[in-house]
Each structure stands twice: as C-alpha cells, then as structure tokens.
Amino acid sequence: MPTDLHCPRITTSSQGLQLSRIVAGMWRMTEWGMTVEQRVGFIEQCIALGVTSFDHADIYGNYRVEGLFGEALRAQPSLRNRIELVSKCGIKLVSPQKPAHSIQHYDTGAAHIVASAEESLRQLHTDRLDLLLIHRPDPLMEFDEIAEAFTALRAAGKVLHFGVSNFSRHQFECLNRRIALASNQVEFSPLHVAPMFDQTFDGLQDVGVAPMIWSPLAGGRLFSGNDGHAENLRLVIKQIADELAQPFASVVFAWIMQLPCRPIPLTGSGRIEAVAVAVAGTSFKLSHTNWFTILRAARSHEVA
C-alpha cells in the first residue's frame, strides 16, 4: 500500500460540515470478524489515510454495527475527536433485536427520529453525531415534523448537521426549504447512473450540496458481473486503468468524483488496502475522452 496517500477534505454545503473526500462505510462490519483491538486499528489506519468520516445506520448489521464501532471508541476514547460520525434512521426492520416490529416499515415521526438518534449516541458511545440522515423517503413523512425533530436535536447538541438518503430532487428540496440539509446519500456507479440524469445531481449542484454515494462499485458487480453489459464496462475501465497505471477501482472513484456536484463516495470494505485504493482516486483526474468513454460504456450508447 502506498505510504504517501492522504485523503483531502470537503465542505459538503453552506452549513459548514466537513467530511473526508472518501467516507468509510461500516454497514458490513459484522461480517469482518474483527476484535475490538482490530477495530481500533482499522479506524486508526483510516485516519492515517485521511479518511476520518465513518458512515453508519441504526439498522446496519441487524442493529449491531453501531455497537461494535462504539466498543472501539470506548476502548480508545481519543479517536472520537479525530473523526466524523454519520448515521441514519427511519427504517424499522423485523429483527430479534426489535421484537415489537411486526412488519418492515418506515417511521419518520419526530418521536422515532429523536429516539433513534439517542440510541445511536448510546451505541456509538458518543455525545453527538456529526450528521444524521433520514434513511429512505417515507410515504407518510411530514416535512414540517421532520424539520422540528431535527431542530430539537440540534438545539440539544446531539446532532450537528442533517441530511437525507435516497431522496428525489423534489423530496430533498421540500425538506431543505424547512431546514438546511448537508447531503443526500444516493446510489451511484457506472452501473447505476440514474442520479446523473433524473435531476438528483443537478439539483444538488444548484444548491451547493455535495451528495454522498453508496455502492460506487455497484456492490462488486463491476468486478464480477457476468452479464454482457457489466463485462464490456469492466473491459473499458480496465483498459483506461492500464493506460493510466492506476488500480481499476481508483479509476471508478475518480470518475465519480469528477462530477461537478462533488460526490463523496463511500467504501464498504474492512480491508485497509481497499480504502487506500479509493483514496488514490482523489489524486488524479480523467481526461474528457476517458471520462466519456466510461460513460458511453455505462449507458451502452453514444451521447446524442
């Protein structure tokens, strides 16, 4: 792993929230099989790369990931002031951890938002979240009620900034008019380019808010997808990566971050080498020709 890599920081909006340009996604932490000491070591290695932002949700790992991460912060309290903690709420899973949940559903009522945030604080062993997101749009969500819950959490010092995840442009703007949002975390990759064309990215660029990106490598399908589209896209990216002498995944991260809305990709790996490859994508830009070559392969047709 190169020793000179260091991830830059980005201000996500006029609200002043700063995150690392690459965010470490924790949703698979229960699968990593790490001891508390190994979790502390992984966090420290991320920080050494400049990756100081860690993405959570209350439901990750069947409601267990935040607790695992919190054990690391309890073991090494000095880590907390060196990192940014992101979490999400609003989904209720059917789980042995939550016996009262009889059906998977959404809850974006004020009481649930506040209770979820407070439980995340307890699990993460911290006194504040840097960013709290509504995890999914809820057909029953009331924008005024969400804004009131966010305002109360901020006034209590429990959450510093707020945002959403998987919201459309219109949904984002409805809530953003009521309380300023710092991000919209959405799925995007060369195998899922919809936000580039459905006004999601255009709308965020217009209001100066940087999106966070989940599944930038399409859940691994860029490496292993065996359909014709994925295979052709993989060959195109590999050819560009070979020409640039850069890792395949670094080229994908660079391609995503070149968009003018300033996307902030998440990693999903417990391997520090994979995090370093993502960080390497911050160190170079693609030529217009290479960028559009990947877009052409992603869409399977030329631009008009």
Q: What is the DSSP string of 139-152?
A: TT--HHHHHHHHHH
Six-digit token string for 64: 């267990």
| Residue 253 phi, psi (nearest 5) | -65, -40
The answer to whether the beta carbons of residues 125 and 91 sit under 8 Å apart is: no
Cα–Cα distances in Å, from 114 out to 127, 155, 216, 289?
14, 12, 30, 48
Which among 60, 167, 172, 255 is annotated as catalytic? 60
**Res. 1: pLDDT tops 80:** no
φ, ψ (nearest 5 deg) of residue 83: -135, 165
Res 3: pLDDT:
55
- Inform me whether the pLDDT recorded for 56 exceeds 70: yes
Mean pLDDT, residues 73-84: 98
Other Cβ atoms within 10 Å of 128 Cβ, number: 17
Conformational region of residue 195, where left means phi above 0, alpha means psi within -120 to 50, and beta covers everything else: alpha
- 211, 195 contact by CB (below 8 A): yes
pLDDT tens track for 199-254? 999 999 999 999 999 999 999 999 998 899 999 999 999 999 999 999 999 999 99
Neighbours of 159 (CB within 10 A): 25
Write out pLDDT tens, residues 4-54. 899 999 999 999 999 999 999 999 999 999 999 999 999 999 999 999 999
Domain residue limits, the chain: 9-218
| Superfamily per CATH, domain 9-218 | NADP-dependent oxidoreductase domain (3.20.20.100)
User: Which residues contact residue 247 at a Cβ distance below 8 angstroms, ignoring those fewer than 6 apart?
Assistant: 241, 277, 280
What's the predicted TM-score (pTM) here?
A: 0.97
Residues in the chain: 304
- 60 has catalytic annotation: yes
- Average pLDDT in the chain: 97
Q: Could you read off the pLDDT of 79-121 as tens digits, one per residue?
A: 999 999 999 999 999 999 999 999 999 999 999 999 999 999 9
199 residue type, one letter: Q
The gap between the terminal CA atoms of the chain, to the nearest Å, is: 41
How far, CA to CA in Å, does 3 sit from each of 10, 245, 296? Answer: 22, 17, 34
Residue 181 in this model has a pLDDT that exceeds 50: yes
Exposed, middle or buried by CB within 10 Å (0-12, 13-18, 19+), for 102? Answer: exposed
Give DSSP secondary structure letters for 90-129.
Answer: -EE--BTTBTT--S-EE---HHHHHHHHHHHHHHHT-S-B
Please work out, in degrees rounded to the nearest 5, the angle formed at the alpha carbon of residue 252 by the alpha carbons of 236 and 244.
65
Q: What is the pLDDT of residue 304?
A: 87
**Mean pLDDT confidence for 123-150:** 98
> Distance (Å, rounded) from C-alpha 286 to C-alpha 263?
15
Rounded Cα gap, residues 32 and 272, in angstroms: 12
